Amino acid sequence: MSYKAIQLIKRPSGDLTPDIFATVELPRPVLEEGQFLVRQTHMSLDPAMRTWLQEREDSYIEPVQVGEVMRSYGVGEVVESRNPDYPAGARVIGITGWAEYVLGNADMQVVDPAIDPEALLSVFYMTGLTAYVGLIRIGRPKAGETLVVSGAAGSVGSLVGQIAKAEGMRVVGIAGSDEKCRWLEEELGFDKAINYKSDNLGGQLDEACPNGIDLYYENTGGVIQPLVFERMNRFGRIVVCGMISEYNRDQPTPGPSWVDINLKALRVEGFVVVDHQDKAQEATEALAGYLQNGQLRFRTQVLEGLDSAIDGLSMLFRGDNTGKLLVRI
């Protein structure tokens, strides 16, 4: 008995290319006492995965080693178990990998089978926790303030904007196509969405943010960053959640001078969601509340088959996805 998996076979340099991965057949393991085997049904594709491919000093997480199965988050079903906490038939969510089957680990959580796995990966778990921690705990939103969120049509950005609306903010989203902008304004209730590939971005920001910008939720970096930065109000907060436009670069693009951070008393604070697992319960409850109040919508784009993950990961960096990107196996 064997199963299909995708291994990292060399480190990327610059843009992701399919040749850094290889599909292999691995033997299905014989379980020891305490182990359990999960047949994965849904995998999440996330920009952060790009940072797991690189060796970096001070990294927040061990990089995936060359020769290892690529790491991911996913949902699956326990198909065989020698662990009473994870009985056969249970649905679990956790760190999996690009594989049809994965050996369970103690960080996996058993989840209610009534909850749609797509909703689980799109609104709760790491995606929801990221949006919640970054906006609420780090950004500390106040009703009446103006939020700008980049990567607004992405999985995290779209939640951030909707939570901010629920908290009474004026919300302006930055996205990469007119279709995404329409979705943000018409379906998600953003006050304004700006296509960063259009002209006169500064003028569009001025119009969208007549009272300046109090909170910037940064998912992307890129051309929009300096334009938002120079429009920050005094005592503004910038939450650096992601820098997707930078992850494929060998040489990082410089950021803004710190003079404005000084004189406007700005706070620029980064975070990585894996450091905030202790807020998972709080986040889940808050997100469930927004969802029940009809304040959160999401869309998923589901790719079919394990192999689709390889190009799927690149789609995130091209901005080709619409909503939360998942692979169904």
Residues with Cβ within 8 Å of 235's Cβ and at least 6 positions away in sequence, in order, are 214, 264, 265, 266
Indicate whether 317 belongs to the interface with a second copy (CB under 8 A).
no
CB of 120 to a second copy, least distance (A): 25
Indicate whether 269 belongs to the interface with a second copy (CB under 8 A).
yes
Indicate whether 12 belongs to the interface with a second copy (CB under 8 A).
no
Q: Which is nearer to a second copy, 13 or 59 (CB)?
A: 59
C-alpha 256/C-alpha 66 separation (Å) is: 35
CB of 56 to a second copy, least distance (A): 7
Q: How far is CA 200 from CA 57, 175, 195, 250, in A?
A: 39, 15, 10, 29
Cα four-point dihedral sign 76, 285, 163, 160 = negative
Indicate whether 63 belongs to the interface with a second copy (CB under 8 A).
no
Indicate whether 265 belongs to the interface with a second copy (CB under 8 A).
yes
Residue 146's nearest CA partner among 168, 162, 126 is 168
Q: Which is nearer to a second copy, 164 or 228 (CB)?
A: 228
Residue 288 tokens, joined: 């469930």
Of the ranges 20-28, 34-42, 124-132, 218-226, which one interacts with a second copy (CB under 8 A)? 218-226
One of 25, 32, 33, 58 touching a second copy (CB under 8 A): 58
Indicate whether 252 belongs to the interface with a second copy (CB under 8 A).
yes
Residue 242's nearest CA partner among 279, 275, 217, 274 is 217
Q: How many residues bind a second copy (CB under 8 A)?
A: 39
Neighbours of 275 (CB within 10 A): 11
Residue 215's nearest CA partner among 147, 269, 157, 161 is 147
Indicate whether 242 belongs to the interface with a second copy (CB under 8 A).
yes
Indicate whether 218 belongs to the interface with a second copy (CB under 8 A).
yes
Indicate whether 15 belongs to the interface with a second copy (CB under 8 A).
no
User: What amino acid occupies position 87?
Assistant: P
C-alpha 224/C-alpha 212 separation (Å) is: 15
One of 113, 257, 277, 289 touching a second copy (CB under 8 A): 257
Q: Which is nearer to a second copy, 51 or 72 (CB)?
A: 51
Of the ranges 169-177, 190-198, 265-273, 303-311, which one interacts with a second copy (CB under 8 A)? 265-273
Cβ atoms of 303 and 98 closer than 8 Å: no
Of the ranges 123-131, 154-162, 175-183, 255-263, which one interacts with a second copy (CB under 8 A)? 255-263
C-alpha 158/C-alpha 174 separation (Å) is: 10
Task: Tell me the residue length of the chain.
Answer: 329
Q: Which is nearer to a second copy, 262 or 292 (CB)?
A: 262
One of 82, 186, 258, 318 touching a second copy (CB under 8 A): 258
φ/ψ of residue 251, rounded to 5: -105, 115
CB of 291 to a second copy, least distance (A): 27
Indicate whether 234 belongs to the interface with a second copy (CB under 8 A).
yes
Of the ranges 150-158, 179-187, 250-258, 294-302, which one interacts with a second copy (CB under 8 A)? 250-258
Indicate whether 268 belongs to the interface with a second copy (CB under 8 A).
yes
CB of 15 to a second copy, least distance (A): 16
CA angle 320, 118, 159 (to 5 degrees): 65
> Rounded to 10 degrees, what is the CA torsion of 74, 78, 84, 85?
20
Interface positions, 275-314, toward a second copy (CB under 8 A) = 275
Q: Which residues bind a second copy (CB under 8 A)?
A: 51, 56, 58-60, 212, 218, 221, 225, 233-234, 240-243, 246-247, 252-272, 275
